[in-house]
Structure 1
Amino acid sequence: MKFRIHHLAILSLSALLIAAGCGNNNASNSSTTTNASGAAEATALPESTKLNIKVSFYPIYEFTKNVAGDLADVEALIPAGIEPHDWEPTAQDMAEISDADMLIYNGAGMEGWVDQVLESISGTPLITVEASKGLDIMEGTEEEEADHHHEEGEHAHEEGEHAHEEGEHAHEEGEHAHEEGEHAHEEHSHDHGGLDPHVWLNPTLAIQEVRNIEAALAAAAPEHAEDFKTNADAYVAKLEQLDQEFKDGLKDTKRKDFITQHAAFGYLAKQYGLTQVPIAGLSPEQEPSAANMSKIVEFAKEHKVKTIFFETLVSSSVADTIAKEIGAKAAVLNPIEGLTEEDRSQNLDYLGIMRQNLEALKSALNE
């Protein structure tokens, strides 16, 4: 059932919801209104009415569902098994978002479609919540890689122009390489804007996202605030235990650096004193340059790396290539951007996959 907000008892929580609206403080995307004194106001939902919540992708679904419990209908927009970086909403998705009471997304550039969606449904009483709001967001590593691709394309284009004197075919190859360089540069412009959005892979930051979601739900349905707090407290306790397991498991490893296909583990590495060595940048679809591949191979040989990590939902070909060249093995380190069919068949959730990641890291760092 659709509802509209008319009274909000706690101004700070109202400010959180307004600020969470796509990171641009656009009041037209907020469901709150103000009275004559300037205080935000809202009314509580009837107890028989559940919140209709849309979330962007799996980790946000997991966090929201654990806070909401049975007091909300929570649905992820991005289906299981779909890589979320390049997902775009359909007309049906847009209609479902517009009809929802609340949209909760990670933010920090993860969901590149959010700004456009919220602009298109401006004026609706949709509450928008950026779960990563207020977190210390790190700069990513993708821009340098994308720019390097672009320079390679320019260089190949010049070679093609030179080869034109010897044959039109060589010229066309140069043009094609130039276009690939341009495409790599454009891909960067559509990705995370230089920010690393993968905060959920650090359990302590996941806790902050859970608390942001709890505050938003309590503001939307204050009569259930205690229930949301109880649910959030129980889930935070599990995340705190997970954090302790990572601390204990990784504090005395033989090595502290690990090679990943996708630069998704910066927050996890920082939290536990590790060093992520990414083959490519933030986008899992990004192809590393030949120069960067060479550097990774050299690093792996010098440091006697025996495991190259790849991830679910995308091809492992790059990791496989490097592993084969240095005589190492390829193994999964899961960024938990979506559940696979295998994950679902094993009833795995965020906590279970994070523990699998911990075991994978312990194995690789103690080889």
Structure 2
Amino acid sequence: MKKFLKITGISLLTIGLAACSVTKESANEQTEQSSDPTIQVLASFYPMYDFTRNVVGNEGNVELLMPAGTDSHDYEPSAKDMAKIQEADAFVYNNENMEMWVPAIESTLKEGDVTIVKATEGMVLLSGDEEHDHDHEHDNEEGHSHELDPHVWLAPSLAIKQVASIRDQLSRAYPEKKAAFERNAAAYLEKLQSLDDSYQSAFKNAKQTHFVTQHAAFGYLALEYGLTQVPIAGLSPNEEPSAARIVELKHFVEDTGIKTIYFEENAKDSIAKTLATEAGVDLSVLNPLEGLTQEQMDRGEDYISIMEQNRDA
């Protein structure tokens, strides 16, 4: 809406002379005259995209910034991506512990009248080291480190809070669309509540409460549903465990009677496969939902369907 409205009713000469000087006031005036009230919303990675599109509905166009199958931990926006963000009316992201590049561009986006929506606004996050007490040698480690665990969306009970936060922040930014946002969100929150209820029921009397994962993405899920996550590596899927850690986990799996080790389809799974082979247990997929493949999206899979698969696994 923002960029479209800035062009409406302006001559080509005016565009050439004043493309960079349209004021917020003139944009607001043109908003009232526009026949296209939809907003353009960009969401950082898949869960934020799915949450946002279920809030916005027909009130706007919601696009996904990161390409399907992208490792969101290592993603850095290109110049083209930055242009897309600046062209949007609103940008929705999880938090700066996942999208670590957002703080560096936040002031630029605000100056460009881009509404910034942080989905974990006001939520208390787990420490980045809270889920794994083993030691890692970080001196030669590549990629990012996490001060806090960003994987909030993997607990349906907390996904509910994220959707409500997205709804409320967008409603404040676009009060004329508040009723529609609330209506859309209510329908989606009902589905998320059913998902949460199914998780509560599935794990209420679980005999085995420990589960071994490829990386420490499921700390919130474990905390919310009375489980204990035992990660092979840390918060990044690219983190490599030491040989001593593999031996330690092998003994742990044998001692606790764990029958399955969980790996991720879209990340390196060689370590998980090695551990499963050495411990003589099965392998199964546990999807962190950091990025669906294009094939999954084409099949119509979404946050709820993938989280149902995770529950059943």
Q: TM-score, normalised by structure 1?
A: 0.74
Distance 1:32 1:359 in 2: 50
Supply the AA of the counterpart residue of 1:133: E
Distance 1:251 1:146 in 2: 28
Alignment-derived partner of residue 99 in structure 1: 87
Count matched residues.
291
Matched, 1:292 2:245: yes
Alignment-derived partner of residue 199 in structure 1: 152
Alignment-derived partner of residue 259 in structure 1: 212
Alignment-derived partner of residue 222 in structure 1: 175
Alignment-derived partner of residue 303 in structure 1: 256
Q: TM-score, normalised by structure 2?
A: 0.86
Structure 1, unmatched stretches of 5+, are 5-30, 34-41, 151-181, 361-367
Contact 1:131 1:209 in 2 (8 A): yes
Distance 2:55 2:195 in 1: 17
Contact 1:56 1:104 in 2 (8 A): yes
Q: What is the Cα deviation at residue 123 of structure 1?
A: 2.1
Q: What is the Cα deviation at residue 239 of structure 1?
A: 0.5
Q: How does 1:300-339 map to 2 (within 5 A)?
A: 300-339=253-292
Alignment-derived partner of residue 283 in structure 1: 236
Contact 1:59 1:336 in 2 (8 A): yes
Alignment-derived partner of residue 109 in structure 1: 97
Q: What is the Cα deviation at residue 191 of structure 1?
A: 2.6
Q: What is the Cα deviation at residue 43 of structure 1?
A: 8.2
Between Structure 1 and Structure 2, whose CA radius of gyration is higher?
A: 1
Supply the AA of the counterpart residue of 1:321: T
Alignment-derived partner of residue 340 in structure 1: 293
In the TM superposition, what whole-angstrom CA distance separates every residue of 1:54-81 from its partner, at most 9, and x where no partner exists? 1100000000000000111111110111
Supply the AA of the counterpart residue of 2:140: H
Contact 1:246 1:272 in 2 (8 A): yes
Contact 1:58 1:76 in 2 (8 A): yes
Distance 2:227 2:298 in 1: 32
Of all paired residues, the percent bearing the same amino acid is: 45
Structure 2, unmatched stretches of 5+, are 5-22
Supply the AA of the counterpart residue of 2:152: V
Q: What is the Cα deviation at residue 53 of structure 1?
A: 0.9
Matched residue SS, 1:234: helix
Report the CA distance shift for 1:198/1:143 in structure 2 as closer, same or farther (over 3 A). Answer: closer
Report the CA distance shift for 1:134/1:289 in structure 2 as closer, same or farther (over 3 A). Answer: same
Distance 1:111 1:303 in 2: 36
TM-align CA RMSD: 2.4
Distance 1:142 1:135 in 2: 16
Alignment-derived partner of residue 125 in structure 2: 137
